[in-house]
Structure 1
Amino acid sequence: MMKTIFKAAIFDLDGTLLDSIGDLSLSMNETLASYGLPTFPLPFHKSAVGNGVRAYAEKCIPAEKNTPEFLNEFVAQMGARYDKNCTAHTAPFDGILPLLNFMREQNIALNVLSNKVDSFAKTMTHHFFKEYGFQNVYGERPGVPKKPAPDAALAIAESCGAAPSEVLFIGDSIYDVMTGKNAGMVSLAAAWGYQSEEMLIEKEPDFVAHTPLDIIDYLKDRS
């Protein structure tokens, strides 16, 4: 039986494990419309997500409205709408479940590190992947630097008893590639997600996967 050299994997959530852009864009557009602000088509939303809800909102709100006070109110309203919408159309990407099954067979500890609000990251992971026993699930938390800072990723590695070089960091944004590299982990770019492959390649990931199944092949080649 093959045995991989990796002890743990850290996944991004939106755009990597979950195709959630439909529910995110719906919630954002509903919130914009409630304030009489212009809404955006799906491709814009794909380019705007990935660095947390506040940064997402800042990209959607007109500059003249973008004050700290309004942004706080807007983000709260967006969160309330997303809480109602977050599982309406969201689903794991094709190939994710076979990848997770393969990793479990290889005794690779599964983890999530997202710039999504921590409560949403935990809720979504539990809803869609309850049976996979993710060891750590972290979103954006007060006092913890968000991606691409390596702090949370390194804490996850330590909790899994893994050296950084024994951890795969898998994500679809430049922030994910940068986090993996900043943490000294093996950085796998998920080109099936929301950011362009060209942007990912510019950050020099260790491997570019076009489907989750490509990661199975990558692991088999390194057993």
Structure 2
Amino acid sequence: MSFKAIIFDLDGTLIDSLEDLGNATNRVLLKNNFPTHTMEDYRYFVGEGVVALITRALPEEIRDEATINACVGEFREDYRKNWNIKTKLYEGIAEMLDSVTLRGLKMAVLSNKPDYFTKKCVAEFLPKWNFERVIGQRDNVPKKPDPAGADEIAEHLAILPSEILYLGDTPIDMKTATAAGMFPVGVLWGFRPEDELKRSGAQRVIHKPQELMKVIDH
């Protein structure tokens, strides 16, 4: 199979941002006298955007719209100040991106993180590499697993979806790739286990970033 482009998820795939996301959420919960959560819990809370993250973190009996909206606002304010304290590239990502670049594949990023923070994270942690498009969650555009963002990238690149590999760490990513007609590859250094990725449509699962080259070169 010959690929011409790769779309990367961001959090849990290229960058390890779990602690900053979890800590920001826990500070909001503490401020409102709600119970906090462990980082292991947050592995299952993240991936579908800020509203979903906050909703899952709140106690079930207090998930009314007003509380969710207020806490989302507090989270955005906190995270804007504390988004890069612990966040870093996963080991091996730089070498992987170098290898993809050497092979001449076009690259893009698609995330359910708010668009502002997605672009900020890529500019901060991934300035060395050329991403044709960097897209986060935007108002009035369906978030993943809706294929709208992936479709937009394919159209911008003028590349057929079947020639695009989609790399991500959650079932949401695998479902997005499948819905867009792309080739879903799951990573095991992120937030979700292998069985979940395979059940959600992963055609391949890799344990380390450099293993992506075996999929590309196959």
User: Shorter-normalised TM-score: what interval?
Assistant: over 0.9
DSSP-derived class of the 2:134 partner: strand
DSSP-derived class of the 2:24 partner: helix
Aligned to 1:45: 42
1:108 aligns with 2:117: no
Match of 2:177 among 180, 183, 193: 180
Aligned to 1:166: 163
DSSP-derived class of the 2:166 partner: strand
Contact 1:174 1:199 in 2 (8 A): yes
- Deviation of 1:66 after TM superposition, in Å, equals 1.2
- Deviation of 1:220 after TM superposition, in Å, equals 2.1
Question: 1:63 & 1:205 partners in 2: Cα distance?
Answer: 31
Match of 1:22 among 12, 19, 22: 19
Match of 1:98 among 79, 95, 99: 95
Aligned to 2:187: 190
- Deviation of 1:55 after TM superposition, in Å, equals 0.4
What is the TM-score when the length of structure 1 is the normalising length? Answer: 0.95
Contact 1:173 1:195 in 2 (8 A): yes
What is the TM-score when the length of structure 2 is the normalising length? Answer: 0.97
DSSP-derived class of the 1:87 partner: coil
Question: 2:176 & 2:121 partners in 1: Cα distance?
Answer: 22
- Deviation of 1:5 after TM superposition, in Å, equals 2.2
| Alignment map for 1:102-141 (pairs within 5 Å) | 102-141=99-138
Question: 2:43 & 2:112 partners in 1: Cα distance?
Answer: 15
DSSP-derived class of the 1:200 partner: helix
Question: 2:201 & 2:112 partners in 1: Cα distance?
Answer: 21
- Deviation of 1:134 after TM superposition, in Å, equals 1.1
1:8 aligns with 2:5: yes
Q: Between Structure 1 and Structure 2, how many residues are aligned?
A: 218
- Deviation of 1:147 after TM superposition, in Å, equals 0.6
**Which ranges of 4 or more aligned residues in structure 1 deviate by more than 2 Å?**
none
Identity among equivalent pairs (%):
35
- Deviation of 1:158 after TM superposition, in Å, equals 1.4
Contact 1:7 1:160 in 2 (8 A): no
Contact 1:113 1:152 in 2 (8 A): yes
- Deviation of 1:49 after TM superposition, in Å, equals 0.6
Contact 1:22 1:89 in 2 (8 A): yes
1:218 aligns with 2:211: no
List per-residue Cα deviations over 1:140-168 (Å, max 9, x = no partner). 11121111111110110111121001101
- Structure 2's unaligned 5+ residue stretches are none
Structure 1, 56-65 or 115-124: larger mean CA deviation: 56-65
- Deviation of 1:116 after TM superposition, in Å, equals 0.5
Question: 1:200 & 1:66 partners in 2: Cα distance?
Answer: 28
List per-residue Cα deviations over 1:58-113 (Å, max 9, x = no partner). 11111222111111110010111111111111111111111111111111111110
List per-residue Cα deviations over 1:194-215 (Å, max 9, x = no partner). 0121111111311111111110
Aligned to 1:79: 76
Question: 1:191 & 1:180 partners in 2: Cα distance?
Answer: 17
